[in-house]
């Protein structure tokens, strides 16, 4: 993504230049040519966003974070003063084919300035409505999740509210955002800025937004308010299977640990994109050591801002941005992202924090007409074969989706180690990786984190149109955003 900027003819503005400009200004506009230059803001950005996930957008000022969020929201388009090369796709549909105002919520700056794609709404709210009435109004104006559309798990979770005849999701949002104590207070009264921020977040949660974009929504707010916002959004994303992409400043380690994935930008390039748990170990392998007293977000941003020498290990050499980008593009993290973005199969990808009772087995792919064998074979894939009643249908709040029998495991991490990807390289190597991973898991004890993929669900088939032309590798920006609901 490139944008044209005008260059002023005078380097310095003085009183004399300003007086002369009053008389010569009209003639300069006619006879003097304008000086302008094109600046590349984003360069070769590839990636994806999956439902139920929280993604943190990191990078120093001027790296392109706000521009990337504006592109996701459909606010930055190519025209005579800007040039966008590449595409952003929602469920295999081009952004131009999607009603983004129904799908994407974009919050820029302070949360009390909520910017919709169609209009600006200063979230002072309707002053003569109470907090509860404001949320009921927001719910009635959108096609929000209704009780008749609840899954069996949601009906069980909201059983008490359903019996009482209440709107269970509204009651839940009021509860988790701690708005119950002010639910009957008028929004025009002196409620705190934090409560206003929570009210705006509640309105978004009650809507039909599948993707929520936040560009530094809490500038100047304390760390506790930031934690409350991110923790609430994570809960909403898990329940509604929506996605949140946030650009934040001054993150505590506790806030950083609430996110599932990290996109680290430097000078318009993606320097790292992958699971949040893998970010620091990835840079450790490049020779950067994070001190215990430094927050992870500060450590990552310092490296791409040119201050990485303070973290460099003995006998290691600091890397330039170009070298960092080159290392990332040669990494398995990038290769797995490109595999998902360019593959012609529509899929959902989830990250599961496993518990005892989740069984994994080796299974021969359908192309090889063999049965599941207890002995590892060369042509196998690692699948979820058993879920105990203790685990149920979910991996908990730490997991971005509900694990199901038959899900294919494409990456795993044991006891906090960097993820090992199983679906890269030739097919023969993939099956060897799966067999080795199966043997490792048989002996492993402790915490396990896996990446699972699910193919060709009934809902996803609705999105498969012109997939042969849409999934080709594109030059420039290429981003695929998957949502759990059907989009029009």
For the stretch 440-473, pLDDT in tens is: 877 777 778 889 888 754 333 232 333 333 444 4
Residue 366 confidence (pLDDT) above 70: no
Q: How confident is the model at residue 403 (pLDDT cuts 50, 70, 90)?
A: confident
The residue-averaged pLDDT of 154-169 equals 66
Nearest to 39 by CA among 74, 70, 63: 63
Overall pTM > 0.75: yes
Q: Distance between alpha carbon 389 and the CA centroid of its chain, in Å?
A: 31
User: Which of 113-122, 167-176, 218-227, 350-359 has the weakest average pLDDT?
Assistant: 113-122
For residue 280 the two structure tokens come to: 């620091």
Nearest to 322 by CA among 304, 338, 308, 310: 304
The three-state secondary structure class of 111 is coil
Count CB neighbours of 433 within 10 A. 21
Q: What is the pLDDT of residue 462?
A: 30
* Domain residue spans of the chain: 348-455
Alpha-carbon span 407 to 402, nearest angstrom: 10
Residue 117 confidence (pLDDT) above 50: no
Alpha-carbon span 179 to 168, nearest angstrom: 15
The three-state secondary structure class of 330 is coil
In 3-state terms the chain splits into helix, strand, coil percentages (rounded to 5) of: 35, 25, 40
User: Which of 106-110, 140-144, 249-253, 279-283 has the weakest average pLDDT?
Assistant: 140-144
For residue 142 the two structure tokens come to: 């959108």
Alpha-carbon span 321 to 92, nearest angstrom: 32
The residue-averaged pLDDT of 406-410 equals 87
Q: What is the pLDDT of residue 194?
A: 73
Alpha-carbon span 91 to 479, nearest angstrom: 11
Mean predicted lDDT score pLDDT of the chain = 77
pLDDT digits (tens, 9 = 90+) for 256-282: 999 999 999 999 999 999 999 999 999
Answer whether 377's CB lies under 8 Å from 364's CB.
yes
User: Which of 170-184, 210-224, 304-318, 363-377 has the weakest average pLDDT?
Assistant: 363-377
User: Which of 152-161, 292-301, 378-387, 456-465 has the weakest average pLDDT?
Assistant: 456-465
pLDDT digits (tens, 9 = 90+) for 123-157: 567 788 899 898 888 887 765 566 665 656 556 65
The three-state secondary structure class of 54 is strand
Left (φ > 0), alpha (ψ -120 to 50) or beta: where does 287 sit? left
How, if at all, do strands 120-122 and 113-115 pair? Answer: antiparallel
Residues paired with 264 in a beta bridge: 58, 272
Which residue has better confidence, 327 or 224? 327
For residue 181 the two structure tokens come to: 């104590």
- DSSP assignments along 160-191, one per residue: HHHHTTS-HHHHHHHHHTT-GGGTTSBTTS--
Q: What is the pLDDT of residue 209?
A: 81
Q: How confident is the model at residue 11 (pLDDT cuts 50, 70, 90)?
A: low
Q: How confident is the model at residue 391 (pLDDT cuts 50, 70, 90)?
A: very low
The residue-averaged pLDDT of 86-103 equals 80
Length of the chain: 488
| Contacts of 89 by beta carbon, 8 Å cutoff, 6+ apart | 95, 470, 479, 480, 481
CATH class, domain 348-455, is mainly beta
């Amino acid at each position: 993504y490139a944008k044209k900027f005008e260059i002023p003819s005078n380097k310095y503005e003085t009183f004399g230049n300003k007086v002369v400009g009053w008389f010569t200004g009209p003639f300069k506009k006619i006879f003097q040519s304008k000086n302008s230059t094109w600046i590349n803001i984003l360069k070769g950005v590839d990636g994806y966003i999956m439902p139920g996930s929280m993604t943190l957008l990191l990078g120093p000022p001027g790296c392109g974070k706000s521009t990337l969020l504006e592109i996701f929201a459909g606010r930055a388009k190519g025209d005579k003063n800007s040039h966008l090369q590449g595409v952003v796709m929602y469920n295999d549909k081009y952004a131009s084919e999607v009603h983004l105002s129904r799908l994407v919520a974009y919050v820029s700056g302070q949360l009390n300035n909520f910017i919709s794609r169609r209009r600006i709404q200063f979230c002072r709210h309707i002053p003569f409505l109470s907090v509860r009435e404001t949320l009921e109004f927001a719910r009635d104006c959108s096609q929000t999740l209704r009780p008749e559309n609840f899954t069996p798990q949601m009906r069980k979770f909201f059983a008490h509210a359903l019996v009482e005849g209440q709107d269970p999701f509204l009651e839940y949002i009021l509860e988790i955002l701690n708005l119950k104590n002010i639910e009957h207070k008028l929004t025009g009264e002196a409620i705190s800025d934090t409560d206003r921020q929570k009210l705006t977040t509640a309105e978004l949660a009650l809507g039909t937004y599948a993707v929520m974009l936040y560009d530094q929504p809490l500038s100047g707010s304390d760390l506790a308010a930031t934690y409350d916002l991110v923790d609430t959004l994570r809960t909403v994303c898990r329940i509604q299977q929506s996605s949140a992409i946030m650009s934040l400043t001054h993150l505590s380690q506790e806030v950083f640990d609430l996110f599932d994935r990290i996109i680290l930008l430097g000078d318009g390039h993606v320097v790292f994109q992958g699971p949040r748990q893998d970010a620091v170990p990835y840079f450790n392998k490049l020779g950067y050591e994070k001190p215990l007293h430094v927050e992870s977000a500060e450590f990552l941003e310092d490296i791409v801002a040119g201050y990485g020498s303070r973290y460099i290990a003995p006998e290691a050499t600091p890397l330039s941005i170009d070298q960092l980008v080159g290392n990332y593009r040669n990494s398995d993290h990038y290769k797995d992202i490109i595999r998902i973005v360019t593959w012609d199969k529509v899929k959902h990808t989830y990250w599961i924090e496993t518990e005892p009772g989740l069984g994994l087995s080796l299974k021969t792919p359908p192309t090889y007409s063999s049965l599941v064998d207890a002995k590892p074979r060369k042509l196998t894939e690692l699948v979820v074969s058993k879920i105990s009643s203790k685990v149920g249908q979910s991996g908990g709040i730490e997991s971005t989706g509900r694990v199901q029998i038959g899900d294919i495991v494409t990456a795993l991490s044991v006891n906090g180690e960097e993820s090992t990807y199983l679906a890269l390289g030739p097919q023969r190597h993939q099956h060897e990786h799966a067999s080795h991973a199966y043997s490792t898991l048989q002996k492993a004890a402790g915490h396990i984190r896996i990446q699972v993929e699910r193919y060709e669900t009934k809902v996803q088939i609705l999105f498969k149109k012109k997939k042969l032309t849409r999934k080709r590798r594109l030059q420039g920006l290429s981003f695929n955003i998957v949502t759990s609901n059907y989009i029009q």
